[in-house]
Structure 1
């Protein structure tokens, strides 16, 4: 048989029985991407804190051609082959078991466990503690935060003072020392780096610190930029180009509010000591609070409580260097439709959302209990025909009226203090990410566009917590907005979690808050 005949025969055989391209098979194997689950994972809500705890990335795993962002319940798997995410049930395994009870928690505070870092087949142990240690009887006041380091040849730890109570007071970062924690550990160019953050709230505070340890010289260097002294560092990564740059994921917290926006993603040039902050109000960062970072060649990945961004870190100031995906909750509209209420506590529905061929899925924004003594609550959902509300008891003020004449408005805060201050102007409407909602555990729960019409109720009359807003009128005494959301009974929906690319906006308009006097 001639070569031409053989080729024709093989081609016809492949046509009828199917053949696998050897090169294609190799590519599929190299892609290493998992298959998408048959149905998206459900998102069960027991309390409003679940929106933070379940969407907060705790670990990032990088393997060949895939990156996995792990939360306590979910894995978001990015496939390099097609630049898409797959959402799966979580595989995260914590390194340390959480305390089972109060006694175990106090014992860990009294005698924190050492963590380890390995370098050149040697093990180093480290921890940060309060000195003197106030636990468990709280009879002494701590005066210093100390790093204890046990080198491979040593039996006893070295002790290094990171900062003192006097320094914290001078930085106006607190009136007493909060419990410190090492939040990240990095080895870069044979140097160790640890980020240290402190508990915040109820007067507790500390100074954001990066500890540099040289194991060859057995020397410690402290890096404490004054601009970030009052921030909490969630994660630290280091890039090396012409200069060395620290990348920090930051936030702040307060009494009853463990998750509050801060400076966002920070780049700190160690040579020039210059610092830049990238947050949701001045960049394309998809959320308010970054938790975990990873660097993959020329890209830095930032996982927030509202989504994930991939950024070319050497060109971070160029808008087209950002690609972001955001978390979305969705649910099927029941065949009987959904009665929509204008507010969380409203007793009478305002309209009904019905299902048809083009309208089967609804976006779920939030869940809130109607009171704290029963499990019953409502979901806030997207509703494209806006409701309107006027808050006659809430208007706008400049920040100095709220605090004092010396207050300096931070770049991550709204231009003025108003009921929608936690919403972001995206060029078309005011939007609020998941991680832009203050939990406010000790103040009546998360709020937003709301008012206390019924003081005897446990919750205010909440109109919108995450619904998009159009600002109609704003004065010092009142606020009038349209909000693109409504409330439905929680028993009627079964939300599932997805992650989708952020949409590119057109017809960008100026922020209407610019019209309100700020001084």
Structure 2
């Protein structure tokens, strides 16, 4: 099977970290420093960014000052003004070290001999990195299988690194999270209570994996503690901050998983780890996902702590939460990312399926307004890369599938149990989540599937992917209403349709995440 995109493995994307500051208690110096929105910024085309990646809105870095908070993606700077709590979108200024790796020679050097990174603590510099042993990379290392992930730390008064094993291949196999050691990386480093703390994640896919790890170092005692909560051992830690006082800290983690050709897959979401004193090695875990909390995205990429507020940047939007009361939905304020476009004055023909030959209806701007929300883009074939946009269409269409519900073990094998972030059983809309009135799917809930036909939506049996063209999808991100769901049948209303790409010029924006005023119980709970 040939990939539908040229794939370059991305390992070692650096993450940012800053020492938390309580800006919420400081005076905002100058509201005039907040940017003013000018012309909307168009989203990149598939030819510019690659298939599907124009909807990669994952947060790579967060930059703050007294007036603004800037969430940086590959394409945009998304700026929050503290003065009036408004958003503007500007051209991206992401620093090179946070850009997706695209230099093969530099990548090869970094993976063979990872560079040390530096963090300051009490005016002194510490250097750190994680490596595989034995080193499996380089011409002389072919056929070598690494057995251990090792953390190296160079303290201010030393030239040689301290070397601390974090986990072994045998531990990864015993935990049943993989069969080989994936390339590890430091995803966050911070100082807290005169100690250093770091989070470690591992490459995942094709059997490669690791154990989610946090490391704490006490320079006064020259002691290092390795923290590996069992509940998250199969996750990738995307970012890490510590809230609260040293006697009762809360470790906040962003998590996800990944797989072959799928760099972003939903995991346990935002995780609160509360260590049990006096040791940091044991404690309790609370997971906040799109299924059990107001969080606006499935994958928290970057976290930023300001006093009693935790900012969470995801691939689908941003939330500010009073972390001490995160279990209360009233303590969350969220905004979601969206792409919109002006409707043509003559109307917009809509197709009910991606590859349909005849439009089913025409959107009239006099009836529905001047703009339409753009949900996704998909090619009509892989050769020309011409495609269609999926757009929100409130009237929607109906589809009946000749498949219904099944247990996860029926779908994936007798030992498979539903993960905490999954619904209790498998059904066609399992990658959508209930939001009080409909099932919805965020940008970061779409597995990109660079191998095997691209992102998957809801498709009738006769319209599955054949290899030459994408599957003839009914819906990929549109909202769903369940009309009937049994063990043999699924009947849905989907509130979207497909339009020719040349009719629209989508632009990126940020909108409030409005939850239903009178939410209804999840209908899956009654099945």
TM-score normalised over the length of structure 2: 0.89
Q: Does 1:379 align with 2:381?
A: no
Task: Tell me the alpha carbon deviations over residues 300-342 of structure 1, each in whole angstroms, 9 at most, x when there is no partner.
Answer: 0001111000000111111110110011110000122211111
Q: How does 1:67-216 map to 2 (within 5 A)?
A: 67-95=69-97, 99-137=101-139, 138-216=142-220
Contact 2:482 2:492 survives alignment (8 Å): yes
State the alpha-carbon separation in 2 of the partners of residues 456 and 70 from structure 1. 36
1:96 positional shift: 6.2
Q: Does 1:482 align with 2:493?
A: yes
Cα distance change, pair 98–494 in 1 and its aligned pair in 2 (3 A): closer
Contact 1:48 1:439 survives alignment (8 Å): no
Q: Does 1:268 align with 2:279?
A: no
State the alpha-carbon separation in 2 of the partners of residues 221 and 423 from structure 1. 39
Q: Does 1:229 align with 2:238?
A: no
State the alpha-carbon separation in 1 of the partners of residues 135 and 515 from structure 2. 52
Task: Tell me the alpha carbon deviations over residues 384-437 of structure 1, each in whole angstroms, 9 at most, x when there is no partner.
Answer: 111111122x32211121234443322210222111100111121111111111
1:458 positional shift: 2.3
Higher-Rg member (1/2): 1
State the alpha-carbon separation in 2 of the partners of residues 28 and 81 from structure 1. 7
1:101 positional shift: 4.0
Deviates more, 1:221-230 or 1:106-115: 106-115
| Alpha-carbon RMSD | 1.8
Task: Tell me the alpha carbon deviations over residues 190-249 of structure 1, each in whole angstroms, 9 at most, x when there is no partner.
Answer: 100110000001000100000111122222110111111000000000112350111000
1:141 positional shift: 0.3
Contact 2:62 2:72 survives alignment (8 Å): yes
State the alpha-carbon separation in 2 of the partners of residues 93 and 123 from structure 1. 22
1:127 positional shift: 0.8
Task: Tell me the alpha carbon deviations over residues 99-118 of structure 1, each in whole angstroms, 9 at most, x when there is no partner.
Answer: 54434322221111111112
Cα distance change, pair 28–475 in 1 and its aligned pair in 2 (3 A): closer
Q: Does 1:239 align with 2:250?
A: no
Among candidates 313, 322, 335, match of residue 325 of structure 1: 335
1:98 positional shift: 5.8
State the alpha-carbon separation in 2 of the partners of residues 99 and 358 from structure 1. 43
State the alpha-carbon separation in 2 of the partners of residues 176 and 456 from structure 1. 30
State the alpha-carbon separation in 1 of the partners of residues 78 and 348 from structure 2. 30
Q: How does 1:4-19 map to 2 (within 5 A)?
A: none
State the alpha-carbon separation in 1 of the partners of residues 240 and 476 from structure 2. 31
Among candidates 429, 441, 444, match of residue 435 of structure 1: 444
**Larger RCO: 1 or 2 (CA < 8 Å, sep 6+):** 2
Partner of 1:446, secondary structure, is coil
Contact 1:67 1:78 survives alignment (8 Å): yes
Contact 2:74 2:99 survives alignment (8 Å): no
Q: Does 1:398 align with 2:401?
A: no
Deviates more, 1:27-36 or 1:222-231: 27-36
Residue in structure 2 matched with residue 38 of structure 1 by the alignment: 38
Cα distance change, pair 384–113 in 1 and its aligned pair in 2 (3 A): same
Structure 1 gap ranges (5+): 1-26
1:189 positional shift: 0.9
State the alpha-carbon separation in 1 of the partners of residues 99 and 285 from structure 2. 36
Partner of 1:462, secondary structure, is coil
Structure 2 gap ranges (5+): 1-26, 278-282
Partner of 2:221, secondary structure, is coil
Cα distance change, pair 340–96 in 1 and its aligned pair in 2 (3 A): closer
Q: Does 1:50 align with 2:53?
A: yes
Task: Tell me the alpha carbon deviations over residues 450-494 of structure 1, each in whole angstroms, 9 at most, x when there is no partner.
Answer: 135353642111010000111112233332111110000011111
| Number of aligned positions between the proteins | 488
Cα distance change, pair 368–301 in 1 and its aligned pair in 2 (3 A): same
Cα distance change, pair 96–322 in 1 and its aligned pair in 2 (3 A): closer
State the alpha-carbon separation in 2 of the partners of residues 280 and 480 from structure 1. 23
Residue in structure 1 matched with residue 3 of structure 2 by the alignment: none
Partner of 1:513, secondary structure, is helix
Contact 1:464 1:486 survives alignment (8 Å): yes
Cα distance change, pair 237–189 in 1 and its aligned pair in 2 (3 A): same
Contact 2:28 2:66 survives alignment (8 Å): no
Partner of 1:395, secondary structure, is coil
State the alpha-carbon separation in 1 of the partners of residues 32 and 229 from structure 2. 41
Q: How does 1:414-429 map to 2 (within 5 A)?
A: 414-429=423-438
Contact 2:436 2:515 survives alignment (8 Å): no
Residue in structure 1 matched with residue 460 of structure 2 by the alignment: 451
State the alpha-carbon separation in 1 of the partners of residues 486 and 100 from structure 2. 48
